Every structure is written in C-alpha cells, then in structure tokens.
Structure 1
C-alpha cells in the first residue's frame, strides 16, 4: 500500500494548521516537522517524524538507526542510499538528478528488502511519476505542500491504484457470424503478459476477458501491446469502475489491464485502430444465468481467455466452452455506474 509523509518545515505559518488538519483527515501516514509542539499535538494515527533524530554522521556514513535521510548527488551517496534501503526500516531519499535513473537503481537494489523507501518529491506531478517507476514505484513519497488542497490532491493520487476484480466463469451459449462491421484494436504503451488483456462487452453488466496478441500468430510477429478488442459499440472497463465505448479510446486514454487472476493495472492507450472487418458475436452465461455478449472480429487470431489463462481462438469456440468474465451490478450513464433500471439485449 502506497503512503505519504507530509513535510511541514516549509509550510507558511498561516497555512500550517489547515495543512495539519488535512493530513489528519486524509490519514496521511506521517508528518515531518522539527517543531516538537506540532508533533505532540498529532493523534496516534499519524507518525511523528523529525530530522533531529538523525545525526549528520548517520546521514552521510552510518546505518546505526531505524531510519536515514540520504541526499543522492553522486556515486558514493547513491551507494549509501542503496545500502540504507536494504538495511533500514525506513529510508528517505532526495535525488539531485531530475531523471529517475538513480531511483530505479535504488529500487532495484532494495527489491527484496522489507524496508520502506520514501522519495522526496517537488510536486504532485513528480509524486505520480515516482509511485510508478519500474512498475513497483517508491513505497512512499515525502511532499512539502503549499496548502491543504495539495494534501487532499495527494490523497486522491494515493487512492488511484487499481484494486483486483473478482472474475467469474462464463459458459459459451452460442456463436453467431455476421457480415462487415467496424472493430477496434487497442494499441497500448505497455507489454501485456500472456494471461492478460482487457474486459470488453456489449452490455454494461457483463464483460469477457479479451486476450492480447502476446501469443504466436502465423504469418506475422506477435504484438504484445495490442488487444483486438471488439466492435466499436462495445464497453471497455477502465479504472475506478468507469467504462468507455471502444470508439472513444484514443491516444492518451487510460484503460485497465486485467489478468486471469483478476489483478489489474492502468495502461495508457497509444492509439486505437478502427477498421471494417467480418464480425462474430459470442453469447455466454454466468452461473446465475446472467447473459454476457461480445462482438469481435471473425478471425482465428482474435482470442479470449478462459479459467487458468487458457487461450481460445474465437473462431474455434463451441457451446459449453468456459471463458473468464466480469459481472457488474450497475447500469451506466456516460460511463459512470448508476442505480437505475435499464435492460440491454
């Protein structure tokens, strides 16, 4: 779970009380301040952190502490940061280099360490980047906010991670072949795993896990960044329980990668390709008899996933085959879940 410490040392006195209140309200893990009166007033839910406990010698040379602050500006200080991150429960690191390469090195060095790495960030944009570096990201960030609004914005950023989904087994009921229609390939800025894809469906209450093109194809190389997702009218499930039509995705959009165990991660769309192709419709049912429908390109190389990550070519699907899907209880209005009556068929 990602966390944040709030640095109060540079907060203007006139805004200090509101920033502290915001940190408490948003359940920030820690507050950094060298004013003991401020720290003593914190509730027990917030960790009080002070730099006074770390001597200059410990900062630069020693690791005989529960925590350390390391300013990384050259190779020796980078080595110290790596050693601290491996050995100590908490390591706060401030990088002089504006690139994230030194952070990547520290993250790699401490990959199997139980300690927590906290990276000093200049602003919210840097915090967002730091939390995602090497896919793992820094365990925590240290931010000196200018006002309470930035504390609330940081809390929203920490909550933006995606939760796992409870996938369900669907049983294929029928396959229908159609003529030409417009389908969308979603080309992302990431590599998909072999059991990973995106959730797509014709109805807002049910989705099928569409496989990425990570598996070998005849006559062409694999495209591990692509999902041949379905007809342009289809819903695609994104972060925060939002949906988009496939026709709405484009360069810079965000959608949700999902694997066969339900783990999720947000991915950025590099482009969406809409082309006219023959189509087929998969109709499947869940154990509770919920009907799920998906229309895709009628081609062997288009694939969907079944339990255990089993790959199914859509043209070879038969009645009784099992697929992985996701059932949503909400209807949709402009992509937002809404509790209203709506029947789709």
Structure 2
C-alpha cells in the first residue's frame, strides 16, 4: 500500500497549522518535523518522523530497529549507500540531486526483496506521481513539503488513484442488427494489452460490453496490441473512478481503464483516438436481471468482444444465445459522473 509523509520543516509558520490539520484529516502516514513536541502530540495513527542522516555504511549497524534513515544521492558512492540502507533499514528516505529517475530504479531493484519501505523525497506533486510508478512498482512512499493544505489533499488523492477490480457479469446476446455508415473510434493506448484485456464500452451508461484489444492474430494485418476497436463515437467508455467518457471525448493524454476477463483493472494512457467512417452493427444483450446492454461497433469480422473465460468472439459471428462479458452500473450519468436520477435510455 502506497503512503505519504509530509515534511513540515519548510512550511511557512502562517500555514503550518492548516497544513498539519489537512495532513491529519487526510490520514497521511507520517509527519516529518524537527519539533519534538509537535511529534509527541500527533495521534497514534500518524507516525512522527525525525530521520537520521546517513553518510556512511558503518552507521547502518548502529541504528535502532525503528530508525528512519535519510540519504542524499548525488554520486555513485551515495547511490550505493542508499541501496545498502534500503536493504537493512525499516524506512529509508532518499533524496536525489539529479532529475533522472535511473538512480531510483537502481535503489528499487537493490531493495526489491527487502522488508524495509523506501520513501522518495519529491519536489512537487508531478514528481510524486512519476515516482509512484517507476519500474511499475514505484516507491513505497513519497515525502512532500507542501506549500498549502490544498497540496496535502491533492497528494492523498494521488495515492488513492489505484484501480480496484470490477464485478463482471455474463450477458446473453439477443440480436445483432446491421446498419449503414457511421463513425467509429479506435482507442490507441500507450500500453500493451494482455490477450484477455480490453475496455468496457456501451451505448447505455448502465451497461457495458468488454471490447477486445487487437492482441490476437488477424488475417491480412499485423496485431496492434495497443489498440481497441471500441465502437461508435457516441458510446460510453468506463474510465477510472467510476467515471465515463464518450468515445468522442478521448484524445492524446486522456486516461481510460483496461479491464481483463477476471475484472482486474488498470489505468492506461491514451496515445490517440482514431475516428473513421465505417459500416456499423449493434449488439443487444441482456443480463440475468433483465438489464439490456447495447453496443454499436464497426461491422467487420476483425472487431471482437470477450466472453466468459476470456473467449474471443468476432462481432459479425455473434448469434442469439451467445454469452459475452460485461459490467452493469446502477447509476445514471451527468457529464460522466454517477448520479442518482431518473433517466431512460433506449
């Protein structure tokens, strides 16, 4: 579980109280401060941090079992020191002089099987977001000296930006209808999809079908493991935080949600959204509770959806009674956000 520490040492005195209140309200994991009285007054749920600056490996053996080490990395010797500290200490704070994240990658690799937690000092929220994803694993924790209470809240939101699993349901195909020309969107991401992964797309905000990525071989064309031929531009696509977008809204830099056949999810960055006019068809299916789900996609054999167990199904070969994987959402939507209001879609 990722966590955040707040460094109060450079916070202006006039903002100290509001920043500390925000940290406690946000339930940050730890507070770093030189004021021993302030540290003693912290609630038991918040760790008071007063690190020991480590300048030599010989120090490591003298530090107690609850010690927090601090290493400034600015050359090869201090990089090796940070690696050694991260292996043996319960908590190691590392501050890097250079903007490159390669030294952090080296420390993460060195401490990969260690029990200790690595905390990376960050200059701002943007760096904190990068640090949390380095080598996919990322730093266990981040340390930030916030300029205001707002930055404390923003940091804790960043930590909560994980991607919980979704409950998938089995849908039964009712009919497939062929239409004329319309506009469809291919979503090209900056990630490599797994074979049982795709994105959830639907014409109605309450139901989605798991559209397959182009990771599987196709005749006449190479695989494109970064792509999902997702559907008509009016369609909803389910993204992080239970928020939807229209496919027409996705563009380079957008974030959407990759979902596998077990319901595991992860955020993926959109590299581009490709809109082209193509013949379309609509798949209509229903869930066990009778909820109707609709998906309009390109009318072509190479467009695929996923069924139970990750079975790959070509949309032009779907027949009444075939089973698909989907997701039901109980809320209606207003500008992509769930809202408890009456709305009928058809």
Common fold by TM > 0.5: yes
Partners of 2:143 and 2:53 lie apart in 1 by 19
CA displacement, residues 184-240 of structure 1 (integer Å, 9 cap, x when unaligned): 001111111211111100100000111111111112211111110001111001111
Aligned ranges 1:37-52 → 2 under 5 Å: 37-51=37-51
Q: Which residue of 1 aligns with 2:301?
A: 300
Partners of 1:79 and 1:158 lie apart in 2 by 28
Partners of 2:170 and 2:58 lie apart in 1 by 56
Out of 42, 48, 62, the residue aligned to residue 60 of structure 2 is: 62
> Which stretch shifts more, 31-40 or 126-135?
126-135
Q: In 1, are the aligned partners of 2:54 and 2:70 still within 8 Å (CA)?
A: no
- CA gap 1:79/1:321 in 2 versus in 1, 3 angstroms: farther
Q: SS of the counterpart of 1:136?
A: coil
Q: Which residue of 2 aligns with 1:8?
A: 8
Partners of 2:163 and 2:321 lie apart in 1 by 32
Task: Tell me by how many angstroms 1:248 deviates.
Answer: 1.3
Aligned residues: 343
Partners of 1:83 and 1:326 lie apart in 2 by 47
Q: Which residue of 2 aligns with 1:245?
A: 246
Aligned ranges 1:103-122 → 2 under 5 Å: 103-122=104-123
Q: In 2, are the aligned partners of 1:59 and 1:68 still within 8 Å (CA)?
A: no
- CA gap 1:109/1:324 in 2 versus in 1, 3 angstroms: farther
Aligned ranges 1:154-303 → 2 under 5 Å: 154-303=155-304
TM-score by length of 2: 0.94
Q: In 2, are the aligned partners of 1:306 and 1:322 still within 8 Å (CA)?
A: yes
Partners of 1:209 and 1:327 lie apart in 2 by 11
Q: Which residue of 2 aligns with 1:17?
A: 17
Task: Tell me by how many angstroms 1:319 deviates.
Answer: 2.2
Kindly indicate whether residue 334 of structure 2 is the aligned counterpart of residue 333 of structure 1: yes
In structure 2, stretches of 5+ residues that fail to align are none
Q: SS of the counterpart of 1:288?
A: coil
Q: In 2, are the aligned partners of 1:59 and 1:69 still within 8 Å (CA)?
A: no
Q: Which residue of 1 aligns with 2:26?
A: 26
Q: SS of the counterpart of 1:218?
A: coil
Q: SS of the counterpart of 2:24?
A: helix
Task: Tell me by how many angstroms 1:103 deviates.
Answer: 1.3
Q: In 2, are the aligned partners of 1:305 and 1:324 still within 8 Å (CA)?
A: yes
Q: In 2, are the aligned partners of 1:58 and 1:64 still within 8 Å (CA)?
A: no
Q: SS of the counterpart of 2:60?
A: coil
Partners of 2:75 and 2:319 lie apart in 1 by 62
Task: Tell me by how many angstroms 1:111 deviates.
Answer: 3.1
Q: Which residue of 2 aligns with 1:99?
A: 100
Partners of 2:294 and 2:62 lie apart in 1 by 61
> Which stretch shifts more, 86-95 or 106-115?
106-115
> Which stretch shifts more, 192-201 or 54-63?
54-63
Q: In 1, are the aligned partners of 2:53 and 2:70 still within 8 Å (CA)?
A: no
Q: In 1, are the aligned partners of 2:171 and 2:287 still within 8 Å (CA)?
A: yes
Partners of 1:276 and 1:327 lie apart in 2 by 29
Q: In 2, are the aligned partners of 1:186 and 1:228 still within 8 Å (CA)?
A: yes
Q: SS of the counterpart of 1:62?
A: helix
Q: In 2, are the aligned partners of 1:163 and 1:263 still within 8 Å (CA)?
A: yes
- CA gap 1:208/1:113 in 2 versus in 1, 3 angstroms: farther
| RMSD, aligned CA | 1.7
Q: In 1, are the aligned partners of 2:201 and 2:209 still within 8 Å (CA)?
A: yes
TM-score by length of 1: 0.94
In structure 1, stretches of 5+ residues that fail to align are none
- CA gap 1:60/1:20 in 2 versus in 1, 3 angstroms: farther
Q: In 2, are the aligned partners of 1:172 and 1:322 still within 8 Å (CA)?
A: yes
